[in-house]
Amino acid sequence: MQLTIRDHTKFFENAPTLGQCMSYIEEYTSKHDLIIQYLIFDGRAIHERFEDTFIEMGPIDQFEVVTQTVIEAKQELKLQMQQYLKRAIPLIQSLSEQFCTAPEAKSWSSLNELLEAIEWLLNSRAYSTADFVVTVDSLAELLESLHIAMTNSDYGLISDILQYELVDIFNQLLKVLEREQEEVKK
């Protein structure tokens, strides 16, 4: 079997187990500061359930590992966050208006999706600069206020938090990311 990671190829005489392949891959990616994006088994891209697919496919002739450097992954994450924030700001303003009146089930569903996105932003702190971290940390404080408002069914407060606090924080995050992107271009 032939295993390829970027421009490096390793040949296995006998059919290795997935565990043997993954041990080699982890050693190589760690040594070269790479992050695994997905695997390709005989031309078939696999993004999850590697072991199940490895077993289902039987003997594999070509095994490719698609990777990114840590720097590339950070840049991609920042671009994704920037794109999300640009789309989210107008949606938050609309969601705020929905909570000014009696929110419907769709409003609560949208709020839940927004909370998941905030969690994603909070989890991205490890890959970000100090300016971003300081700004994103204010989201944690905002979540506490939002939780209290939701617990008390205070729709007016939910609306105000969304419109006056969250939109402001999202705009600040967007500015930080845009500034960082400009610095990378220089």
CB 65, CB 27: distance < 8 Å: no
- The alpha carbon of 96 is separated from its chain's Cα centroid by a whole number of angstroms, namely 25
**Nearest in space to 66 (alpha carbons), one of 25, 14, 5, 121:** 5
pTM: 0.76
Which of 23-37, 79-93, 122-136, 163-177 bottoms out in mean pLDDT, i.e. has the lowest? Answer: 122-136
Note the pLDDT tens digit of each residue in 142-159.
Answer: 999 999 999 999 999 999
The pLDDT value given to residue 145: 93
Note the pLDDT tens digit of each residue in 47-96.
Answer: 887 778 777 777 888 889 999 998 888 888 889 999 999 999 999 999 99
